[in-house]
Amino acid sequence: MTNTPVRAPAAGELLAPVSKEGQAFLDLLAVHIPYVREVSGAHDRDGTFPFEVFDRFRTSGVLAATVPAELGGLGVSHMHDVALALRTLAEFDASVALALHMQLSRGLTLTYEWRYGAPEAQSLAERLMRSVGEREAIICGAVKDAPRATTRLTPAPGGGWLLNGRKTLVSLAPAATHFAVYAEVHVDEEPLRLAAPVLTRQTPGLTVLDNWDGLGMRGSGTVDIVFDNCPIAAEDVLPRAAVGARQDAVLAGQTVSSVTMLGIYAGIASAARNVAVDWTVRRRVDPGAAVRTLLAEIEARLFALRSSAAAALRNADELAFDFSVDADERGRRMMTPFQCAKLMVNQLASDIVDRCMTVVGGASFSARHPLARHYRDVRAGRYMQPYTYVDAIDYLSGQVLCFDQDNDYVSARAIRARREPSP
């Protein structure tokens, strides 16, 4: 059998950057790949966070990739190129890619606030991104409330706010210096609204727990954070929409903050495909019809996966700064292709890994086999907002049927929590 030929990249397949900044980021990331690969297995086995990797990322500027050049970063602004970088990294360690996604997505969303937000938001965004550009801050987002917990901002005596609650599944939290937290704002006799307070790790009352023991993404540091009367200055709070406002404009920001994660699952699928192909080549015998059929199906599915992701990313890049479109319509036009692609990427990536295990056979059922890890890691995609699989079905079917529904999943959850009986 001859070696597998190198296939030229097809257009729109998430295989090459679309900007010089994206290429610079890939070149910088490539320097770190050998070390990431070296320590990856141990962190996965032990379920530990790779602090040493992120220290290297911080000092070299990887963590500042999506910060504008004027503020000390690389200035990567195309979501396509961020997803491509995550795809490249995820081929070697999906946990590290997931944690890095948390930081890079903050750069993308804060850049928008810096350029187009209200003066207070611009000031906060600039302050945070300058700190990232100076190789100091590591910022992660905390969105999902822990079961039976509601994270709330309430007015503090003398001014400012107090934050109470608990967030769960916060990747990158062990290394983060700052947290951008989704919270409900509770003020007497005022409508319930949402906000994103930003607080440092040293804030009194903030506790980062060491409670991650995931099935997959074991090195991602996806832990819980507890807030107990954490004081927050008024200038450190980014206002968001009112609960139940049904403002689809917010879907644009949610797309920007999350669509690049498609690259992570494209990377896992690519890595699994390479394992199956390498195993077949090393056997040095002609594969039977069943193996050849499986490899053909894997290749076709990988093409479909990458193409779907690339199309959604290009759409998001084109609409992100297009203000000629109605804000609500723009939000839907960004979110809907993202959700179509996410649905397909999650399904296809899992299917690809499963077929690769079938090609390799029983050896892949060993816990330390690369495909076993890919099998565990790839399943995380269905649980990530926006939207989880169940929420995505509700959203997409609602768009098809023109339902009048609240598409902001944070707002919808806040309303739903008030309808559920107390435990």
Is 420 in contact with 413 (CB distance < 8 Å)? Answer: no
Q: Quick one: average pLDDT of 252-276?
A: 98
What's the confidence (pLDDT) of residue 1? 38
What's the confidence (pLDDT) of residue 3? 42
Identify the CA nearest to 50 among candidates 225, 175, 178.
175
Percent of the chain with pLDDT over 90: 90
What's the confidence (pLDDT) of residue 416? 79
Higher pLDDT, 104 or 242: 104
Distance CA 269, CA 306 (A): 10
Give backbone dihedrals phi and psi of 105, rounded to 5 degrees, phi first: -65, -35
Q: Which amino acid appears at position 7 of this protein?
A: R
| Number of Cα atoms under 13 Å in the Cβ half of residue 203 | 28
Q: Is the pLDDT of residue 33 over 70?
A: yes
Distance CA 124, CA 269 (A): 38
End-to-end CA distance of the chain: 63
How does the average pLDDT of the chain come out, rounded? 94
Q: What is the pLDDT of residues 109-165, one digit of tens each?
A: 999 999 999 999 999 999 999 999 999 999 999 999 999 899 999 999 999 999 999
Is 321 in contact with 253 (CB distance < 8 Å)? Answer: no
Is 136 in contact with 173 (CB distance < 8 Å)? Answer: no
Is 266 in contact with 97 (CB distance < 8 Å)? Answer: no
pLDDT bin (cut points 50, 70, 90) of residue 249 is very high
Partners of 118 in the β-ladder = none
pLDDT bin (cut points 50, 70, 90) of residue 47 is very high
pLDDT bin (cut points 50, 70, 90) of residue 413 is confident
Token look-up 């390799």 returns 360
Q: Quick one: average pLDDT of 383-405?
A: 95
Q: What is the pLDDT of residues 350-380, one digit of tens each?
A: 999 999 999 999 999 999 999 999 999 999 9
Return the SS3 of 238.
strand
Partners of 167 in the β-ladder = 145, 225
What's the confidence (pLDDT) of residue 4? 43
Distance CA 101, CA 322 (A): 24
Return the SS3 of 199.
strand
pLDDT bin (cut points 50, 70, 90) of residue 6 is very low
pLDDT bin (cut points 50, 70, 90) of residue 422 is low
What are the tokens at 249? 């404009």
Q: Is the pLDDT of residue 420 over 90?
A: no
Token look-up 């896992």 returns 268
Q: Is the pLDDT of residue 289 over 60?
A: yes
Identify the CA nearest to 154 among candidates 97, 229, 256, 103.
229
Handedness of CA 61, 132, 103, 175 (dihedral sign): positive
Identify the CA nearest to 245 among candidates 118, 411, 387, 386.
411
Distance CA 384, CA 258 (A): 9
Identify the CA nearest to 221 among candidates 86, 50, 367, 39.
50
Q: Is the pLDDT of residue 419 over 90?
A: no
Higher pLDDT, 241 or 78: 78
pLDDT bin (cut points 50, 70, 90) of residue 285 is confident
What's the confidence (pLDDT) of residue 241? 87
